[in-house]
Amino acid sequence: MKRREFLKSAAVGTAAAAAASTLAAPAVAQDVRRWKMVTAWPKNLPGPGVAAQMLADRITALSGGRIVVELYAAGELVPGNGVFDAVSEGTAELYHAVPAYWGSKSKGILLFGSQPFGLRADEQVGWLAHGGGQELYDEMYGRFGLKPFLCGNSGPQWQGWFRTEINSVDDLKGLRFRTTGLASEMCSKLGMAVQAMGGRDMFQALQSGALDAGEFIGPWTDSALGFYQVAKNYYWPGVGEPSSAEECAVNKAAYDALPDDLKEAVAMAAQSLYNPVWTEYSTKHALALQKLVAEQGVQVKKLPDDVIVAMGNAAGEVIADLRGDEDELVRRITESFLAYRNSIADYMVYADNGQMNARALDYNYG
C-alpha cells in the first residue's frame, strides 16, 4: 500500500514524492528483522553450501528486505551437527541441513529426508504436499520448537567410493563405511561398520585407511571434496538414498511472531527453491561424472544384483522396526510414508519407469 501511495504522490509533484519517501523510511527501517542462518556445510560447498546461500538470499529478497538473513557456515557460529539445537534453543533463527542428520532426536525425522528403497525427489514432495506428510513433519518438528520446510533435493545419491571392489554380500561384512540416516541402519544390518562424519572428515579417513568406503552425495559435490583421489571405485545405484531432501527449519517462536505476509515469504523462499536446487544437482552431477571418468580414471561400477536384494531385505527390516516403534508419532509417520510409497510405486511402473526403460533401449536418436 505504501508503494502505491508513493507512486501516486510522484505523479503529482517532486516535492510531494520526497515528502512521502521521507515519511515511509523510518517505518521500513523499524520493521527489519536480522536473522542468523546456521548450516551443516562449508560455505559455498558445491550443492548444499550453494543452496544454503541461495535460500538466505531468497528470504531476504522475497521479504522485501524486512528479513535480512546472514549465513554462518558450519563451525562459524556452531558446529555443523549442532545447527538443529542452535535453532531449537534460539541461538539462531533458522538452519539449512538435511533430516538424515537428526536420528538421535527421533527416528521418525529420518523419513522426511530419505528412505532406503524409498521416494524419489518428486515423490518426496508429493508425499508432503498431497499425502499428509507436511502435517506430520510439522508435528514432529514442533516437539523441538521448529517449523520445517523442504527446500531442495540432491536427487539419487550414489552408493559411494570404495577402495576395493564389491563382488558379493560377504564383501560388505566388517566394511568400514561412512553414511547417514536410515541408510546407516540398513548397512549395519548387513554387518558393515557404519560411521557418521562430514565430507572433509570422510576424505581424510579414506586417505588414512580409517575408512574402507563411504558415500556423501553425488558426482558434483563429491568431486569438489576430492574423493576420487583416494578411492577409484564409484558404485551405483545408491539404494540407501534414492533422493535426499534438504531442509530449512525455523525457530517456531520467531516464525509465529512474523506477520502473515512474512510467514508466506519464508515459506515461499524455501519451497520455491526445491526444483531449482534439484535440477542443478542433476545437471551438474551429469557433467561432473563425465569428467571423473575421462580425466580422473574413476571406475563406475554397478552393485551386483544379489547385493542390492540383500540391501532391500535389510531396508525392509529397518522399516519394520519403525512400524513397531514405541513412539506413536513415529508409527504414524511410517504408515503414511508406506501408503504413499506403495501407491506411487505401482503407478510409476507404467509412467516414469516405463519412459526411462524405453529411453535406455538401443535405437537411433541423435
Using CA atoms, how far apart are residues 233 and 162, in angstroms rounded to an integer?
5
The CA-atom distances, in angstroms, between 222 and each of 22, 203, 362, 364 are 51, 10, 30, 33
| Contact (CB, 8 A) for 353 and 242 | no
| Contact (CB, 8 A) for 262 and 239 | no
* Sign of torsion over alpha carbons 34, 35, 41, 46: negative
Tell which residue, 152, 149, 2, 9, has the closest CA to residue 64: 2
Beta pairing class for 67-72 and 299-302: unpaired
| Contact (CB, 8 A) for 103 and 109 | yes
Tell which residue, 151, 176, 150, has the closest CA to residue 164: 176
Helix (H) or strand (E) holding 10, with range, is helix 2-12
Q: Is 215 annotated as a binding residue?
A: yes
Half-sphere exposure of 3 (CA within 13 A, CB side): 1
Q: Is 337 annotated as a binding residue?
A: no
Half-sphere exposure of 141 (CA within 13 A, CB side): 29
Half-sphere exposure of 237 (CA within 13 A, CB side): 17
Q: Is 157 annotated as a binding residue?
A: yes
Q: Is 216 annotated as a binding residue?
A: yes
Binding residues, by number, are 157, 178, 215-216, 241
Binding residues for Na(+), by number, are 216
Binding residues for substrate, by number, are 157, 178, 215, 241
